[in-house]
Structure 1
């Protein structure tokens, strides 16, 4: 999912797809698109299942031997899950970050916190002044940690590719899953141009930053909505249990993703009601005439509210009501495609949306199959818009482990 990282003037993820423009953006978008093809996403399903299993084992341990419902703050735990998955998918790196501290993961989480905090302090806007502050020094250190990790991985892979040669390197990887770095190292456009090490590192960092907390936010709000609507949760659970019936291993496979229609409707309705990214901006590269005859001049930056679009009563009757059946085939017929834009829209829409939806389906399906989710009435969530849609003081839910095979 995309995330609106602000232009702070301090190096963050590099000049990746999220921030680049012009010819560079066009070239990179073309080179990166194959990395999100279905055949390649299929190889990531095992990672999604594995990372979800680790999180669920933690939840069962927290519930104790009695298996009683336990109150848990889920947004932070889901952030660790998505970071765990992304490190494996991008770098083939096993950090065990869901179970033990990781310097790299801590740096990414610190950067997310510091960017938001900088937005709230006017005196921190000038880069030279920010660098002198305690937050600025922490930011610089966290950037160095993240950039150093990524650069080291890219350099090692590049050296191996040069040492073996292109064909021998491919032969060595035949039958194995390629990660994001591998695919970018091999990417070439029609003129034979490749990405530099700096470009690859920037795209990998962008994917890590923009992909982890947005997907975690989407999942956390989905679980909250299912917790508040037990009838929809029960229907999802029944759908998943029918799918998994008779299997030796309780995993979601690639072919299963299209066999979860109601679960998919629940995900989409949650993304409508609680979009992780609440707004996006675009600079007009030409005059734009609106239907009422007014003109938005070239060069103007327009802020488009995804949250407002998703709550427009003309498109969505009773917009505050969580109703997954809005996305049934019959109810979706004739609806304008731009009425639902959780991944933005147009040429600069989120390149990772299929990746995010696949991960959300796996985590959602396995969670409702293994746990009953209820709201924590003592700690109702209060929405808080930062880089993503979060909550004040976390998003707390009651998780009750279900018996195996229940």
Structure 2
């Protein structure tokens, strides 16, 4: 009897392995059957076998270099995905035929409301309503008010550099330093709290942001699966934000809300106050009436994603900006002269909103950094309905479609010598110009980054103050590897330079 049971189990195992092998073989023929060139996959991760050994940013560069085509097929585990790599196709996916691609592919699970309901991840129709209601938070008038705070924080940033990295001669971790700076700004923008981790004050926001931007192996793996293998992330019930950050955001948000229940300060201009007003006016979308807490979850999710977006991308951009300026002393002096002359005209010690906006070379340095180092190397969409891309290819509903930004930003025909950092490329580029879909660090179309101007001003204020006060010199070789644990671009080790007082 035992022999019979054993032989039956063995037979079932053999059949299972054979069936699995047939299924995998057929799945990995998906793009070949459609005549699409593809990157050779390997079971079980498809083209993601590099995870936690190199970054997805590096993989996008690998695709650009190995497959210089309009589009290429890849496999996210067993899921076929299409990667488009030209400005023309970027326009189709992001704008022209947005109705077919209006949702993202990444995992969004209702058991994780902060991860599922924020403006970055949430699907239609909630996305459309939330974005409409949040847009007034990012008007030019509000940004001018916040610029004053950014300037105050940039002064504290300069003081910390002098105190810690000049006088005490500590080695600077650029990513951490600029995460502190952006954390101080977002503390006021979201919660109305004026604290300064840069000035060594206890900061509740720094607890949140340091958890958000610090990617260990396991946190990096969790975040990567959320973005690239959402079915597995859903099965494992992974979270968009870390457990520690999620709990602290909830406590802090509701603590601020409780303080304002009885006494409302009409001068409050932060995001919490804006969201509370929306809720009171019944403007927050509550599509799921079976969940009485939906409006509260939506508010909390927007606060969480604003914190992450404000800190992560701006700190990365500033880190790579410092690195490039350190290795390009002539360009650094050109920028210094523009800042010095502008300050001389105004007679102030900081540059205000309009002055920062009008400095062409300063903007050019930022734009060129965003071209060469876009914090997110790809834009993800999901094909919601079957779509005919061209005469050769029809994209099936449910197929992930990625736009490889590096294939566009490093296209030699668009940007000669693309690996060279050259701000002159953007000397006369207007703010918000996507250069006919060849410059897309903030995305484009209806789902472009809503905090774009906020993030740019945050970078402008810090850059102007640092270059005014310090000469920046190299602290490491020019070629800096990327952090393999981070889905978004980040220099391995945080990046470092030397600051020399002017």
Q: TM-score, normalised by structure 2?
A: 0.68
Alignment of 1:269-308 (within 5 A): 269-291=368-390, 293-308=392-407
Structure 1 window deviating more from structure 2 (42-51 vs 240-249): it is 240-249
Measured on the aligned residues, the alpha-carbon RMSD in Å equals 3.3
Q: For 2:429 and 2:330, how far apart are their aligned partners in 1?
A: 21
Instruction: Select which of 37, 43, 53 maps to 2:139.
Output: 37
Instruction: Give aligned pairs, total.
Output: 379
Q: For 2:154 and 2:446, how far apart are their aligned partners in 1?
A: 32
Contact conserved, 1:279 with 1:304, CA < 8 A, in 2?
Answer: yes
Which residue is equivalent to 1:48?
150
Which residue is equivalent to 2:218?
117
Which residue is equivalent to 1:382?
481
Contact conserved, 1:158 with 1:185, CA < 8 A, in 2?
Answer: no
Structure with the greater alpha carbon radius of gyration: 2
Alignment of 1:5-404 (within 5 A): 7=108, 10=112, 12-13=114-115, 15-63=117-165, 71-98=171-198, 99-113=200-214, 117-120=218-221, 139-161=242-264, 173=266, 176=267, 178-187=269-278, 193-194=283-284, 196-245=295-344, 247=346, 249-291=348-390, 293-329=392-428, 336-377=435-476, 381-384=480-483, 386-402=486-502
**3-state SS of the aligned residue for 1:355?**
helix
Q: For 2:161 and 2:154, how far apart are their aligned partners in 1?
A: 11
* 1:308, distance to aligned residue in structure 2 (A): 2.5
Contact conserved, 2:173 with 2:496, CA < 8 A, in 1?
Answer: yes
Q: For 2:107 and 2:237, how far apart are their aligned partners in 1?
A: 14
* Distance change >3 Å, CA 119–CA 70, structure 1 → 2: closer
* 1:87, distance to aligned residue in structure 2 (A): 0.7
Q: Deviations over 1:171-215 (max 9, x none)?
A: x52xx46112222223489x9624633322211111001221111
Q: For 2:430 and 2:145, how far apart are their aligned partners in 1?
A: 33
Contact conserved, 1:107 with 1:145, CA < 8 A, in 2?
Answer: yes
Q: Deviations over 1:127-172 (max 9, x none)?
A: 78688xxxx9x943442122111122234335545xxxxxxxxxx5
Contact conserved, 2:114 with 2:300, CA < 8 A, in 1?
Answer: no
Contact conserved, 1:16 with 1:199, CA < 8 A, in 2?
Answer: yes
**3-state SS of the aligned residue for 2:298?**
helix
Q: For 1:154 and 1:305, how far apart are their aligned partners in 2?
A: 41
Structure 2 residues without counterparts, runs of 5 or longer: 1-103, 227-231, 286-294
Q: TM-score, normalised by structure 1?
A: 0.83
* Distance change >3 Å, CA 100–CA 398, structure 1 → 2: same
